[in-house]
Amino acid sequence: MELWTIAPLAALASIVVASYLFVYVNKQDSGTTKMREIAGAIQEGANAFLKREFMYLAVFVAVVATVLAIFLPKNGPIMGVAYIFGSICSALAGYFGMTVALKANVRSAHAAKEGLNKAFPVAFRGGAVMGLSVVGFAMLGISVVYYLTGDPGIVLGFSFGASAMALFAKAGGGIYTKTADVGADLVGKVEMDIPEDDPRNPAVIADNVGDNVGDVAGMGADLFDSYVASIAAVMILAVGLAPGISSFDNPFVNLPLIFAGLGILASILGVAIVRVGKKGNPGKALNWGTYITCGIFIIMALFVTLYLRQEIETWAQSNLESSLYPFQIWGALVVGLVAGVVIGITTDYFTSIDRAPAIKTAEASKTGAAINIITGFSYGLISMFPPLLGIGIASAVAYGLAGVYGVGIAAVGMLSIVGMIVAGDAYGPIVDNAKGIAEQSGLGEEVIDIADRLDAAGNTAKAITKGFAIGAAGLTVLALLATFQEISGAAGFDLMKPLVLAGALIGIAMPPLFSALVMLGVGKNAFRMIEEIRRQFREIPGLKEGKEGVKPDYATCVDIATKGALKELILPSVLSIVVTLVVGFVGGIDALGGYLGGSIFSGLIFALLMSNAGGLWDNAKKYIEAGAFGGKGSEPHKAAVVGDTVGDPFKDTAGPSLNTMITVMSLVASVFAPLIVMYALL
């Protein structure tokens, strides 16, 4: 089926459009000397962090690739190369997207002088570069590996490389950004009673750097990882449907590539039609862009299904024991996409600034930080139910339509428009930085108000993306669990078996352990940051008063965040891989199957709780800052800042990192399954 080549062609188109948008953003005016100076400091800090992080990761990637090449019983060297290639593609997408984000922030701040409708396209198209880079590099990498090898198992190696890179990028970026954010907020807002992006705050540049390395490069790597893993999982499941037949001759191997290629084209069209008027609503524009992209994709997928109908039905009847019909597969695809949108909508309800949970949590701040935290945490617990129900229903319906293959196709459907989703997500930190640059540069209240409106839409977009990413990871890892079962040859995993139960209990414990380690990393690093900020306010004469010519030492705070983040990310990231291998080689396939199941369910629960509760606390604080319950500087505001500070590592470090963690664990199990079958102790 030559139609699969739509995937690499769409990938190339995505990279070309991303390059065009990069040029567009770069041509915009970067503002005053002061604005360029601030933007340059942010760019310098972000590049320094990525350079150090990539140096660490290069060593890790080389070690793992060597292990794969030497020890895997089949195609070891090729798997090692595919692993390296996956790591490189993921890094390229993150670097390319973050580079344009660092250009778009100052340019959208300057454009805000001319109005909302001038600033929005600069910021959104900057985000679109990230979104289209993610899907472009991911799909191009998959296509190259598949074309050269014809083996979906090697594509799994490519996916493993992308996932390992994503785990380090998300954990490291998350620790960095929350180190700076917590330090800046607690000392600046609570102790010194100064605004969020006040240039007197020594951590303000580190905070802006963190938005880029955590929310742009980190979240992009996260969704790159889920996107590739879902496609690889479905391709392997399709091979299992008809073993012994060439992958190129099996339409069910090629369908996820075709559908993903259509999703890229739909995302390109969606990016092109997003507009906002002079007095328009940026949040509404982003949401409608997503809905229209979904509609375009569903229609395109339907036409392709109709075109392939006869071929798929004939092939299935000749080669499969049970027929899979085209419209069953299309139905599973649509179910996954609709579930993703519903999860995004429910996330919006529980985190948005103008919804009841955030308003009630803000109101609870009138009695102090403790009730704010209890209220926000409780709504976070409630917020888990709708998305978990959605994932469960989507999985059941997709399975009913097309078996485990349908569950995998539902994951592909949910991730099909990831180009558009990441564009909206990357827009968030761009406008957050733009607001900071506007405030630090003294552009005036009118410009800052416009930046605030852009930023409010960005906060909601980021929260929705986190919910979407968790839902996508949920369906993806369920497909990967089926893939692991296929590769290992296991008949099933019965919880009444002692090894399966033991593995499940260990798996359940892994997400909270990982979360604790990365949040402790934030705490330890934030402690150092807070001490440094206090020292500067204490020892630099005139800093607190804002005397002319007195500047804080921004570079030291950037250095603290960088060194601490890279130090603290190693243990939790490596532990998630090592424990998976230990469980497999000691307990065997049964223990490892239980371990994966336990980690998947525990991981989804903790990821949803922490991401939603954190977003809720953030917007409760912003609701008060907008003038409610005494406004900025009031006692309720200080209580809400404490709640937001607790939520920062929830929503931007631990929560989103768990998506990648459970995907990495599932991929490690599948890649090493042949070795585990041969050498397990039990």
pLDDT tens for residues 282-300? 878 888 888 899 999 999 9
Position 463 scores a pLDDT of 65
**Spatial separation of the C-alpha atoms in residues 110 and 438, rounded to whole Å:** 8
Position 154 scores a pLDDT of 94
Q: For residue 202, give every residue at least 6 positions away whose Cβ sits within 8 Å of its Cβ, in sequence order, or none.
A: 532, 533, 536, 537, 552, 553, 554, 556, 557
Position 639 scores a pLDDT of 93
Average confidence (pLDDT) over 260-265: 96
Mean pLDDT of the chain: 88
pLDDT bin (cut points 50, 70, 90) of residue 321 is low
Position 217 scores a pLDDT of 76
**Spatial separation of the C-alpha atoms in residues 295 and 378, rounded to whole Å:** 35
Average confidence (pLDDT) over 549-574: 88
Structure token digits, residue 450: 């416009």
Residue 215 scores a pLDDT above 80: no
Residue 1 scores a pLDDT above 60: no
Position 102 scores a pLDDT of 86
Which of these, 288, 237, 221, 227, lies nearest to 259 by C-alpha position? 227
**Spatial separation of the C-alpha atoms in residues 141 and 232, rounded to whole Å:** 12
Pick the range with the lowest mean pLDDT from 21-25, 419-423, 576-580, 589-593: 419-423
Q: Higher model confidence: residue 314 or residue 159?
A: 159
Residue 74 scores a pLDDT above 80: yes
**Spatial separation of the C-alpha atoms in residues 616 and 361, rounded to whole Å:** 8
Q: Higher model confidence: residue 223 or residue 629?
A: 629
Q: Higher model confidence: residue 1 or residue 99?
A: 99
Considering 219-223, 227-231, 420-424, 447-451, the range whose residues carry the highest mean pLDDT is 227-231
Q: Are 52 and 569 in contact (CB under 8 A)?
A: no
Which of these, 523, 480, 512, lies nearest to 664 by C-alpha position? 480
Residue 338 scores a pLDDT above 70: yes
pLDDT bin (cut points 50, 70, 90) of residue 460 is low
Which of these, 468, 454, 569, lies nearest to 213 by C-alpha position? 569
Q: Are 232 and 146 in contact (CB under 8 A)?
A: no
Which of these, 338, 340, 314, lies nearest to 326 by C-alpha position? 314
Pick the range with the lowest mean pLDDT from 22-26, 176-180, 415-419: 176-180
Position 459 scores a pLDDT of 65
Per residue in 473-507, pLDDT tens? 888 888 899 899 888 888 778 888 999 999 999 99
Query: Which of left, alpha, beta for 345 (phi over 0: left; psi -120 to 50: alpha)?
Result: alpha
Residue 322 scores a pLDDT above 70: no
Q: Higher model confidence: residue 25 or residue 548?
A: 25
Average confidence (pLDDT) over 403-417: 91
Structure token digits, residue 517: 């380690």
If you ran DSSP here, which 8-state letter would residue 545 be given?
T
Average confidence (pLDDT) over 656-663: 88
Radius of gyration of the chain (CA): 24
**Spatial separation of the C-alpha atoms in residues 633 and 237, rounded to whole Å:** 57
Question: What are the residue ranges spanned by the domains of the chain?
Answer: 2-275+283-679
pTM: 0.90
